[in-house]
Structure formats: C-alpha cells, structure tokens
Structure 1
Amino acid sequence: MGSEADHNYIDLDKGFALAFLALLCLFLLAMIVRCARMVIDPYSAIPTLTWQEEQISN
C-alpha cells in the first residue's frame, strides 16, 4: 500500500515537471522567432516616431 501512494506522488511531480518543460520550450521557441525577426528586419521593431521628424506648429 505504501508503494502505491509513493508512486502517485512521483507521477504528479513528473507531470508538473513535464508541463513546466513544455512551457519553457514554448517560451524559448517564441524568443527564437522574435530574435530571428529582429535580425532579418531590425528597423521594423523601431517605432516610426523616434526617427521621423516631428512637425512643430506655432
């Protein structure tokens, strides 16, 4: 009886570890895609207001 209870806790911990690993892999994949986009087209990440001249009205 004791070994069955221990086995359930191990499976629960393994499930949490696998879920965390899956989320970590998704986050890593998203960061790879984002960095690749910035390397391919770096100027698309810059807002246009920072490098265009602003109109000053008097």
Structure 2
Amino acid sequence: CFFCVFAPSSLTPSTAEPSFVDVDQGLTLAGVTFLCLLLIAMIIRCAKVIMDPYSAIPTSTWEEQHLDD
C-alpha cells in the first residue's frame, strides 16, 4: 500500500510492542540494579562490623599505649 508507507504513525494500525528495551529504561534498570547491589554489600559489611567490631579496627589503635613519664 503506497499510502501506508508515507502515512503518519498515528494513522497506521498499531501492532505488537517491540521486544527491545528503551535506552532510558535500560539505563534506569542498570542504575537501580547497581544501587541494589551496593545496598546489599553495605548491609553485609555493616552486619559484619556489628557482629565483631574489633576486627575492623587496627590493633595499634586499641592496644595499650606506653607513656613516658
């Protein structure tokens, strides 16, 4: 149909949605996925610090300091 080629998209009957993801939607999904992974990593790290707080501190900071009097 000659008219179908040059017709505006609003006049042509719409078919099924394309199967690919929009670029903006893909970037948003990637960003949200990255933030979720970062959140999970931070939760695990904080849980480890709460369970054993002294393992996260270098021993030189809490060892008894020898003062010269």
Normalising by the residue count of structure 1, what TM-score does the alignment of the two structures yield? 0.72
Deviations 1:9-52 (A, max 9, x none): x7100000000001000100010000000110011011101112
The structure with the largest helix share of the pair is: 1
Q: What is the aligned-residue identity percentage?
A: 53
Describe the shift of the 1:24–1:55 C-alpha distance in structure 2 as closer, same or farther (beyond 3 A).
Answer: same
The 1-side partners of 2:37 and 2:25 are apart by 18
Give the CA RMSD over aligned residues: 2.6
How many residues end up aligned between the 2 structures? 51
Hey, which bits of structure 1, 4+ residues long, moved more than 3 A?
53-56
Computing the radius of gyration from Cα coordinates, the structure with the larger value is: 2
Q: Give matches, 1:1-58, under 5 Å.
A: 11-53=22-64
Deviation of residue 54 (structure 1)? 5.4
Structure 1: tracts of 5 or more residues without a match: none
The 2-side partners of 1:2 and 1:37 are apart by 57
Normalising by the residue count of structure 2, what TM-score does the alignment of the two structures yield? 0.61
